[in-house]
Amino acid sequence: MAKSQSAALDRKKLMADPVMVTTIVVLITFLTLFILYPLAILLVDSFYGDGGFTLDVFKRVLGMITFRTAITNTLKVGFLVGILSTFIGLLFAYVEVYVKVGRGVGGLFKMVSMLPVVSPPFVLSLSMIMLFGKAGLITRFLLGIYDNSVYGFWGIVIVQTLTFFPVCYMMLKGLLKNIDPSLEEAARDMGAGRFKVFASVTLPLMLPGLGNAFLVTFIESIADFANPMIIGGSYDTLATTIYLQITGAYDKVGAAAMAVVLLSITLLMFAVQKYYLETKTAATLTGKASRGRMLIADKSVTIPLKSMCALAAAFVILMYICVPIGALFPTWGYKFTPLTFKWFNLVFTRYHGFEAFRDSFLLSLVSAPVTALLSMIISYLVVKKRFRAKGFIEAVSMLAMAVPGTVLGVGYIRGYSGGIFHSGFLQGIYGTALILIIVFVVRSLPTGTRSGISALRQIDKSIEESAYDMGADSFRVFMTVTLPLIKDSFLSGLVTAFVRSITAISAIILLVTPQFLLITVQINEFAEKGSYSVACAFATILILITYGSVLLMNLFIKHFGTSKQIKEAA
């Protein structure tokens, strides 16, 4: 059987739609140039030398004890963070879905799940140092311990766990909600106790989902740059080692090889997560819960679970509060009163705070709409259209999810500092605002695309077909039907992209040139120097900006978003 005619016809129909064709071509070019190519150049760099294929670079890099240690360090941290985050995430998710809680507690959960979105990556590291470090508020002034060190393995683990567990919580919450309560009721009915039900029904059903959550945080932990940078001390992970290899040892080729190693690890895990665990999760938990669940009100269960959650939540909140308060103390660790705004003053008068906020703000402001629109277009093409390059577009935009920022940063340095394939072509964009914006876009694209895809999947295909049938071309269909129906997803994508961009550091720190002052880079610098008060002042303003944007978004969605009835109708 030959499907050649329909393929040819589909192609002809596609070609009759110039806007579509242009969009696809532009997209493919963009993805190839700014995601595939930077990764490819890393491979070229590390395998090609002295006119031929060589393993020398790898031999040299793997010969470094520091690098080998960094690999084991990274894996150790990632493993533990994955387990701890999954566990705490499960605890929160279980309490929310299964246990009767008051309204205030519900709000607390929402806040905890919001925190990682609005907080810059190193906020927790900063507060960890200020609370538990040598001059820590708790260790020194409350407990009288003078030589506590938070730098190193445990510092990273604690901070990363607190940073990433909300991701697990959100993932697992969705899964638990999809478990049909009648399964557990049936087990209860047959005589199983509450714990037995959890162990023999709920947990096995959740297992692939737990594995999924574990791997996602594992990858996040491995890719994390900011926290190990600030709180790692001499405990180097892959991301920081690569950064130091470039900024300290000026060994760009070595860094490229290291980046290849880091990328291989994350890609491997991503592949397992995406193609094995995700399908398995979907297979075990397909059903929608048919009706409400009988919530557990038994005090012997609720009190211990709730107190554990409360403890964790209180700790997280304490850590976040510490940052703005830390910025108000005259001298951290020595003089706590009277509270003062002098650090905020200094940020703007001496430390170019205004320029930093302006640059970060403007660059993010430009990249956010580009990202949001691009991710909606990609989702539209992936979900609603059929064409041959679709698989490529989908795969590459998902691939970006598995690429650590540091790897991408090294890829851009190698790929663009000397032009494409060191030929000088496109060299002009290196060191400009354009490449920073592109990095912002590429870094936020996967999140936006994922949310766009899930939003679009919920819209009946025939709604767009009907518009198409009545004479609209693809562009019109997208503008008049698709976009209005996924307005919410678009708006939240807009803000998420903005927040992600303004708080980004891992890739950007490798590419930023002195002419641009970015807030995150400033915070990192001051934290490195030990000027925690200034770092805190910067971070506080940044949190206010991001929090403000999220509030604005929610307000916006409420007033201009797609109404509930329309969503249900779609």
Partner 1 sequence: MDKIKKGVRLEHISKIYQDPKTGKDFYAVKDTSLTIEPGSFVTLLGPSGCGKTTTLRMIAGFESPDEGEVYLGEQPINELTPNKRDTAMVFQSYALLPHYNVFDNVAYGLKLRKLSKEEIHRRVMDILALVELDGMESRMTHQLSGGQQQRVALARALVIEPSVLLFDEPLSNLDAKLRVSMRTEIRRIQQEVGITAIYVTHDQSEAMAISDDIIIMNKGVVAQKGTPQEIYYHPNSEFVADFIGEANFLRGTVTAIEGGYALLNVEGNPVKATAQAGIQTNQEYTLVLRPESASLAEAGGLPCKVALSCFMGSYQNYHVMVGDTLVKLTEHNPKNRRIYQVGETCSLAFRPDDVHILL
Question: Footprint of partner 1 on this chain (CB under 8 A)?
Answer: 1-7, 9-10, 12-13, 16-17, 460, 462-463, 465-473, 476, 480-481, 484-485, 562, 565-570
Task: Compare residues 298 and 469 and give the one whose CB is closer to partner 1.
Answer: 469
CB of residue 394 vs partner 1: minimum separation in angstroms? 17
Strand partners, 48: 53
CB of residue 460 vs partner 1: minimum separation in angstroms? 5
Task: Answer for the pair 322, 130: CB distance below 8 angstroms, yes or no.
Answer: yes
* Token digits of residue 371: 């990202």
CB of residue 384 vs partner 1: minimum separation in angstroms? 12
User: What is the Cα–Cα distance from 487 to 188, expressed in whole angstroms?
Assistant: 43
Residue 202 makes CB contacts below 8 A (sequence gap 6+) with 176, 179, 184
* Token digits of residue 530: 């030990």
Q: Is residue 172 packed enough to be buried (19+ CB in 10 Å), middle (13-18) or exposed (0-12)?
A: buried
CB of residue 557 vs partner 1: minimum separation in angstroms? 15
CB of residue 387 vs partner 1: minimum separation in angstroms? 12
Q: Is residue 430 packed enough to be buried (19+ CB in 10 Å), middle (13-18) or exposed (0-12)?
A: middle
Task: Answer for the pair 519, 450: CB distance below 8 angstroms, yes or no.
Answer: no
Task: Compare residues 434 and 566 and give the one whose CB is closer to partner 1.
Answer: 566
Task: Compare residues 430 and 468 and give the one whose CB is closer to partner 1.
Answer: 468
Task: Identify the three-state secondary structure at position 193.
Answer: coil
Task: Compare residues 433 and 472 and give the one whose CB is closer to partner 1.
Answer: 472
User: What is the Cα–Cα distance from 397 to 400, expressed in whole angstroms?
Assistant: 5
Q: Is residue 243 packed enough to be buried (19+ CB in 10 Å), middle (13-18) or exposed (0-12)?
A: buried
User: What is the Cα–Cα distance from 380 to 484, expressed in whole angstroms?
Assistant: 13
CB of residue 477 vs partner 1: minimum separation in angstroms? 8
CB of residue 546 vs partner 1: minimum separation in angstroms? 30
Residue 379 makes CB contacts below 8 A (sequence gap 6+) with 449, 452, 453, 455, 456, 486
CB of residue 566 vs partner 1: minimum separation in angstroms? 4
Strands (E), 121-202: none
Using CA atoms, how far residue 468 sits from 84, 141, 227, 479, 480, in Å, is 50, 69, 49, 12, 11
CB of residue 292 vs partner 1: minimum separation in angstroms? 25
CB of residue 541 vs partner 1: minimum separation in angstroms? 38
Q: Residues for the chain: how many in total?
A: 570
Task: Answer for the pair 151, 231: CB distance below 8 angstroms, yes or no.
Answer: yes
CB of residue 446 vs partner 1: minimum separation in angstroms? 26
CB of residue 167 vs partner 1: minimum separation in angstroms? 32
Task: Compare residues 346 and 463 and give the one whose CB is closer to partner 1.
Answer: 463
Q: Is residue 252 packed enough to be buried (19+ CB in 10 Å), middle (13-18) or exposed (0-12)?
A: middle
Task: Compare residues 16 and 314 and give the one whose CB is closer to partner 1.
Answer: 16
Task: Compare residues 189 and 568 and give the one whose CB is closer to partner 1.
Answer: 568
User: What is the Cα–Cα distance from 504 to 521, expressed in whole angstroms?
Assistant: 9
Task: Compare residues 13 and 388 and give the one whose CB is closer to partner 1.
Answer: 13
User: What is the Cα–Cα distance from 346 to 330, expressed in whole angstroms?
Assistant: 12
Do the strands 48-49 and 52-53 form a parallel or antiparallel pair, or are they unpaired? antiparallel
Task: Compare residues 423 and 563 and give the one whose CB is closer to partner 1.
Answer: 563
Query: Closest Cα to residue 481, out of 376, 370, 375?
Result: 376
Task: Compare residues 102 and 471 and give the one whose CB is closer to partner 1.
Answer: 471
Residue 141 makes CB contacts below 8 A (sequence gap 6+) with none
Residue 253 makes CB contacts below 8 A (sequence gap 6+) with 45, 46, 49, 57
Task: Compare residues 479 and 552 and give the one whose CB is closer to partner 1.
Answer: 479
CB of residue 220 vs partner 1: minimum separation in angstroms? 33
